[in-house]
């Protein structure tokens, strides 16, 4: 252990360089593997709380890789570039989706264009989503929400629970 300490004290730049490398490694993990964030807002209410939920994202699904209908994804909001949002994918390229909420004045449907997806919040009356700004380019997707939870209690394995694919077809027993 003393040898490692000497190694870091030996050269003034060494500790800087290694801190930089560690930051870069953390950046790699958070941008290419897994990351976390705090959800805020009522748009996904039955799934995510208005405030306080910690969401874990799988960054392997960035740019819409292997995203299926029903997954919760985080994405750059196209009309306000500084913000990220979390919504549920209800249509992939080629699918026909309702342009408005079910039961709204018009029942027009559109086909989701190539390279886009259609995202809608679970709390439909309080959500700003593809019904406002149209289909979302898949390249704006940053990751898929795989777990949610709060750091409550003394059992870390009970902090988080998986976010299920809400539109998966259930198998009848």
Site map 28..47 versus other proteins, x via CB under 8 A = x--xx---------------
Nearest to 163 by CA among 96, 86, 98, 97: 86
CB 162 → other proteins: shortest distance, Å? 25
Shortest distance (Å) from residue 15 CB to other proteins: 13
Which region among 76-84, 99-107, 149-157, 165-173 touches other proteins (by CB under 8 A)?
Answer: 76-84
Size of interface with other proteins, in residues (CB under 8 A): 31
Say whether 43 is catalytic: yes
Least CB distance to other proteins at residue 63 (A):
4
Kindly state the DSSP code that residue 122 receives in the 8-state scheme: S
Residue whose C-alpha is closest to residue 163's, from 33, 57, 52: 57
Active-site pick, 43, 74, 127, 130: 43
Whole-number Å distance between alpha carbons of 90 and 23 = 36
DSSP assignment string, 42-92: GGGTTTS-SEEEEEEEEGGGGGGTT--TT-EEEEE-TTSTT-EEEEEEEE-
Tell how many helices (H) and how many strands (E) occur in the chain: 3, 10
- Site track 103-132 with other proteins (rule: CB under 8 A), x = hit: ----------xxxx----------------
Q: Report, in Å, the least distance between residue 49 CB and other proteins.
A: 26
94 forms part of the interface with other proteins (CB under 8 A)? no
CA distance 67 to 60: 10
Selection from 117, 144, 138, 113 nearest residue 63 by Cα: 138
> Is 144 one of the annotated active-site residues of the chain?
no
Of the two residues 79 and 151, which places its CB atom closer to other proteins in the complex? Answer: 79
> Tokens 């208005």 identify what position?
50
Q: Which residues bind other proteins (CB under 8 A)?
A: 3-4, 6-7, 10, 20-21, 24-25, 27-28, 31-32, 63-64, 76-81, 113-116, 133, 137-141
- Residues classed as catalytic: 43, 87
């Amino acid at each position: 252990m003393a040898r490692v300490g000497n190694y870091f004290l030996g050269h003034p730049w060494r500790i800087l360089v290694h801190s930089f490398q560690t930051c870069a490694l953390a950046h790699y993990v958070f941008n290419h593997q897994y990351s976390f964030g705090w959800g805020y807002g009522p748009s996904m209410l039955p799934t995510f709380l208005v405030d306080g939920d910690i969401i874990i994202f799988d960054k392997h699904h960035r740019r819409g890789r292997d995203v299926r209908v029903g997954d919760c994804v985080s994405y750059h909001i196209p009309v306000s570039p500084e913000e990220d949002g979390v919504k549920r994918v209800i249509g992939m390229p080629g699918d026909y989706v309702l342009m408005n909420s079910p039961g709204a004045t018009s029942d027009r449907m559109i086909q989701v264009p190539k390279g886009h997806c259609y995202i809608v919040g679970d709390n439909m009356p309080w959500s700003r989503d593809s019904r406002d700004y149209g289909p979302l380019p898949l390249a704006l997707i940053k990751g898929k929400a795989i777990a949610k939870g709060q750091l409550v209690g003394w059992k870390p394995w009970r902090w988080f629970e998986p976010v299920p694919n809400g539109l998966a077809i259930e198998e009848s027993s």
